[in-house]
Structure 1
Amino acid sequence: MTEVAFHFNVGDPLGYACRLLRKAIRAGAQVAVIAPPERLRELDAALWSFDPLEFLPHVRIAPGAQPPARLATTPLWLVERASDAPPVPVLVNLGDEVAPGFESFDRLIEIVGNDDAERQAGRRRWKHYSDRGYAIERHEVGAR
């Protein structure tokens, strides 16, 4: 069963995601990030600029596209649908909805900002996983 972790009250979700992804890559993990198109564009730009001395190798995959085989070892995949990600163990959700197909990943990380709309969406996702029997790990990142 997929391990689910929520990171709540994140003041800067994109900056936090960049730091979390850097940590995962340094640990040797391969990760897919799912989000709506505009958020993926923002994350793509942030990954190039959040640390001027470091580059996080990543690929953005268009919906339905098949990545070239030469990119198979890329550690970070940016996708709009979980089904477009290659078979990697970790999925990070930066969207407001439950990611269809999250069950195919070993681990799911939900990043929830600290504004009311993001918190409400996070609660709905928490309820979805909880109602289906997933044990949820909670990380309180910042104070409200």
Structure 2
Amino acid sequence: MQTQVEFFVLPDTEAESNNYLLQACVHAANLYRQNIRAYIYTEDLEQAHHIDELLWSFDPQAFVPHNLVGEGPKQGAAIEIGHQPPQNRRPVLINLTTQVPNFVNQYQQIIDFVPAENQLKQHARERFKQYRAMGFAINTHQAKKEQAITEN
């Protein structure tokens, strides 16, 4: 099965430049509601803790079972967060790093973002090229400013 990469282009406004973290939470919630397990790969431990906190608070009506790598149940919660390679296999990777992780081949789907900030946008272009060179199928979408939890 060919890996599918979904790039979400965020609005080009300064206020929306870090919205990719919130978008990651929205996608994680959508995956959980579809009973799909995912790994959120972060740049570092600080970002992992930030995503952990966002998942508790981004939508008061949404409960998304999640944990940091090494915490929680042995097989991890539905959504696992970490800045190191995953310990458990999952079908979906949500990539929040500036690089293409060296373990991407184990995923059926990768969710990635194109933030508005120029440096992060350039990193996204490089990831796009790498994914394409790896033979992955790539789709690009415009991220909605207020994307509903129930959307796919």
C-alpha distance 142-73 of structure 1, shift in aligned 2 (>3 A): closer
1:79 match: 82
Instruction: Say whether residues 1:48 and 2:56 are aligned partners.
Output: yes
1:99 to 93, 98, 101: 101
**Paired amino acid for 1:74:** A
2:6 match: 5
TM-score by length of 1: 0.85
2:32 to 12, 25, 36: 25
2:137 match: 135
TM-score by length of 2: 0.81
The offset of 1:32, in angstroms, is 0.4
| Mean CA deviation greater in 109-118 or 27-36 | 109-118
Distance 2:144 2:79 in 1: 25
The number of residue pairs the alignment matches comes to 137
Give unmatched runs, 5+ long, in structure 2: 146-152
The offset of 1:84, in angstroms, is 2.3
Identity of aligned residues (%): 26
1:16 to 23, 39, 56: 23
**Paired amino acid for 1:54:** A
**Paired amino acid for 1:30:** R
Instruction: Say whether residues 1:58 and 2:66 are aligned partners.
Output: yes
SS of the residue corresponding to residue 130 of structure 1 reads helix
C-alpha distance 54-134 of structure 1, shift in aligned 2 (>3 A): closer
**Consecutive aligned runs of 4 or more in structure 1 exceeding 3 Å deviation:** none
C-alpha distance 71-138 of structure 1, shift in aligned 2 (>3 A): same
SS of the residue corresponding to residue 84 of structure 1 reads coil
**Paired amino acid for 1:5:** E
Provide Cα deviations, 1:115-142, integer angstroms capped at 9, x if missing partner: 1111100000001111222221111225
Distance 2:75 2:40 in 1: 16
